[in-house]
Amino acid sequence: MPRAEGPGSARLQGMLGVALFLCLTAPCFSESIQETADNYFAVLKKDFDRLALNRALRNPRTSPVNRMFVTSLKKHQPLAYLARVNARGMVINEVIRGEVPQKKVKRKVGDVEWYTAVAKSKKAFCGFAEDNGRYYVIWSEPIVVKKRFGGVIAAKVDIWDCFHKLSNETMEPFLVRIGQKSLYSNKWKNESAFVEEPLNVPGVEKISLLTERPSPAAHVAETLAASVQRDTSAVAPGPAPVSAVQPGAATPSSGKKVPSGFAKHRIVFVIIGIVVALIFIFLLFQFYVWLNHKFLMRSINKPD
């Protein structure tokens, strides 16, 4: 005989469903490491694009450009190199991280890819290079003087330094790969259960991020769902006529009153309370991570 389910039981099931739905769809106040890394490189590229439009680059004087380049290297520590090359392929400004800029360079670089590609297409170039075991993103853009090609501005970004800067603000383990090579490891020890996602770094085709699986939110939701299902099944009423479960009615055999709705389902209410408390704790944790991310982005974007 099927079990009798009254309006109270349906409401309880609905409340459990809402609680689990809130847990599963709780708003995530923090970005993932992948999103943070993609945003970091996007901001870095945007700042370089803005630098390429600076009017000082059209002036043949070297001192104002050197000062501008030094300021950019101080703002973005992973920037390893900035250069201005004229229309004849001659370097007239060159600033290298950790070195004093030279007032006069006068060095020919007309055959390097980041210059020739821009000189031919008059469009921006994004490339990738390895130098003495270090990996660099290379960005270059044309300098336009009176609607004509006036030279190239180029930057080299140390990829390892970028992820080292990001790792200083997070406790979550991750691993960065370029192709099948490991580029950067942050407390990474997990080689079995992980998620690999592509990263968007202009100039690098095969770069990916490995993080641990499963995510905390999915683990909490799965645990709560299993716990609620197990406990509600244990306290479900057995087969009985509908009239036998009316509040205050006496059973024919015992002459005692049937327990009230709250007494019958007190374990279910306790479970709901535990679920709500865990959701609240989980949301507090997410809010903490969100605040941590805000401080991370502020630390990344402020001058070093």
Per-residue pLDDT of the chain (304 residues; tens, 9 = 90+): 445 455 555 554 555 554 444 444 444 445 688 999 999 999 999 999 999 999 999 998 999 999 999 999 999 999 999 999 999 999 999 999 999 988 888 889 888 999 999 999 999 999 999 988 899 999 999 999 988 999 999 999 999 999 999 998 788 889 999 988 999 999 888 666 788 899 999 999 999 999 887 555 555 555 555 555 555 555 555 454 444 344 444 444 444 444 555 555 677 777 888 888 888 888 888 788 778 777 777 777 666 5
Would the pTM count as exceeding 0.85?
no
| Among 193, 49, 179, residue whose Cα is nearest residue 126 | 49
Cα-based distances in Å from 14 to 3, 7, 20, 89, 272: 18, 10, 10, 72, 11
- Packing angle, helices 63-75 and 33-52, rounded to 10: 170
Q: How many CA atoms lie within 13 A of 143 on its CB side?
A: 23
CA angle 181–184–187, rounded 5-degree value: 120
Q: Are 78 and 158 in contact (CB under 8 A)?
A: yes
- Please state, in angstroms and rounded to a whole number, the distance separating the CA atoms of residues 70 and 20: 54
What's the rounded Cα separation, in Å, for the pair 138 and 232?
A: 60
